[in-house]
Chain A
């Protein structure tokens, strides 16, 4: 029984040590540790790389891995939007993801019209656009 306890304790210790190791190894790749391809893809983020937390670094590396499989137009968009996206606040990114998830639920034939609808919306007079987005009250903002 003591042996069982010992084995259990060793397993737990080994598991914790393993988790710690993987976190250290995978959690903080410095810019210099990225491959040349990844550095090339993520070049717009180079200046901000050190300020990104490990989770976000891993996510960007994941996107860099998808990059070769993207169409040229998509690659160009990623390059153009990357920096702006990284500079958003966590709350803005969360909001954008939520809105994306909602919009993504519309049927594909409707989704094709989104670009057109965005252009229509932008063509609206400023007063009309303002009516569609009344300023939030401070109480709601706090939520």
Chain B
């Protein structure tokens, strides 16, 4: 029997359909219910204590675990995002301050020049004159 013939045979069997008496159908139905009932409880993982904690959390959420997840996940992602942006901005600011301070400490002008309002105004006047 080649592959094509085998396929035809399977198709033929499938086309005939499955005729089950009501007793077999009932048994299959019961087996399916049992399997589903056994699947529902959360399997206890390696992190036993964490599993207990998660179980408590889920218990607290009651019937709306799905809803809370739909809400909590985006909120958590948002918080993580904000946290990352804040950290990045702080680092950028720190790098900028370090760069400016390094230039102030090494530059031609003494620090007093940058603190002297008179000199700042003097520079502005000179710039306006030119």
Contacts and interface: CB of A to CB of B under 8 A. Distances in A.
Interface of A: 1-6, 8-10, 12, 15, 19, 55, 58-59, 62-63, 66, 70, 74, 77-78, 81-82, 84-85, 88, 92, 95-97, 99-104, 106, 114-115, 117-118, 121, 124, 129-130, 132-133
A129 B113 CA distance: 13
B80 A114 contact: no
B8 interface: no
Q: Nearest 8 pairs between A and B by C-beta?
A: A133-B118, A74-B106, A132-B118, A6-B54, A96-B114, A133-B117, A62-B98, A99-B114
Given A10-B50, A66-B102, 12 more contacts: A2-B58, A4-B73, A8-B73, A8-B76, A55-B94, A81-B104, A84-B111, A85-B111, A92-B115, A96-B111, A97-B114, A114-B108
A70 B106 CA distance: 8
Contacts, number: 128
B85 interface: no
A100 to B, nearest CB: 5
Interface residues of B, number: 49
A85 B113 CA distance: 12
